Amino acid sequence: MIGQMTATMAHEVRNPLGIIKAAAERIRRKYGDGTELFDFIPDEVDRLDRLTEWYLRFARPGDLRLAKARLGSILRDSISRVRGELEAASIEVVVEDLAQSECLVDYDRLVQVNINILLNARQAIGSNGRVEAEVVEKSGVVRVEVKDNGPGIPARIQPKVFQPFFTTKTAGSGLGLPVVKQVVETLGGKVGLNSRPGEGTTVWYELPCAKNT
C-alpha cells in the first residue's frame, strides 16, 4: 500500500518537474546562456528528481531485475554519471578493480547504490579532495570500498548513518546510505563503514559471487 502510494506521488511530482525543466531550457535557448538563474533551475529540478527517486526506491525495494555483472564495471559506469559533479568540486577519483567474478545484481539499483556512496563522499569532502575506490574478491564474495579523505564521522554518529531520515546536512534527505543498505541486503550482501575523525571515511559493501551455471 505504502509502495503504491509512493509510486503515485513520485509520478505526480515528476511530471511538473519535467515541465519546469523543459521550460527553463527553452528560456535559456531564447535569451542565451550566462545567466545564473538559467543554470540554477535545471540543477534544482535534477536534485528534486533524484530525491524523488530515493524515496521511491526506499519505499519499493522489490521488483528486482537480476542479471550477472562485474561490480567493477558497474562502479566505473556509476562514476562516469557523477564525474561532472565530482570534477566541479575538484575531487579526484581513483579506481582499482581486482575482481573478475560476476555477481547477481540489479544493475540500475546498484548504480544508484554507488552514486549514493560517491555523492556522500563528495558532500563529506566539500572540495579539493580524493576518493579511492577498490573492488576486491575473497572467499566467494566481491567487496567494493569507497574511501574519501573528508573529515570523518564522529563515533557517536556512526551507528545512525544507515537509519532512514537521519542526516547532519541541512539539505539532506537522510535516505542516501539507507537506500544503499536496503538494496545491498536485498541482493544478499552486507554493508558497513569505517571512519575516524580527521582520517576520512570508507563505505563498503559485499555481494556473493554468482554461481556458475
Same domain assignment for residues 117 and 32:
no
> Using one digit for the tens of pLDDT, what is the confidence trace for 203-213?
999 999 997 64
Kindly report, residue by residue over 3-53, the tens digit of the pLDDT.
555 555 565 666 677 777 777 777 777 776 555 556 667 766 776 776 677
> Would residue 159 count as lying in a domain?
yes
Length of the chain (residues): 213
Q: Residue 195: enclosing H or E segment and its boundaries? A: strand 190-196
What pLDDT, on the 0 to 100 scale, is given for residue 54? 61
Per-residue confidence (pLDDT) for residue 29, from 0 to 100: 75
* Same domain, yes or no: 73 and 114: yes
> Do 166 and 101 share a structural domain?
yes
CATH number for the domain spanning 195: value is 3.30.565.10
- pLDDT of 211 reads 79
Element containing residue 131 per DSSP (H, E): strand 129-138
pLDDT value at residue 213: 47
Q: What is the pLDDT of residue 113?
A: 92
Are 52 and 77 in the same domain?
no
Report yes or no on 213 lying in a domain: no
Same domain, 39 and 86: no
Given 59, 79, 97, the domain boundary residue is 59
Q: Classify residue 184: in a domain, yes or no.
A: yes
Closest-CA residue to 168 (of 195, 134, 130): 195
Q: How many domains does the chain have?
A: 2
Based on the number of CB atoms within 10 Å of its own CB, is 19 exposed (0-12), middle (13-18) or buried (19 or more)?
exposed
The pLDDT of residue 170: 56
Q: Cell 521511491: give the residue.
A: 56
144 and 42 in a single domain? The answer is: no
203 near 120, Cβ under 8 Å? yes
Q: What is the pLDDT of residue 1?
A: 44
Residue ranges of the chain with per-residue pLDDT less than 70: 1-15, 32-40, 43-44, 47, 50-51, 54-62, 166, 168-174, 212-213
> Are 188 and 89 members of one domain?
yes
* Domain residue limits at 117: 66-208
Burial call 142-176: b when 16+ CB within 10 Å, e when fewer: bbbbbbbbbebbeeeebeebbeeeeeeeeeebbbb
Distance of CA 143 to the CA centre of its chain: 16
Same domain, 29 and 127: no
pTM recorded for the entire structure: 0.74
Cα separation of the two ends of the chain: 37
Judged by DSSP in three states, 126 sits in coil
Answer yes or no: do 77 and 141 share one domain: yes
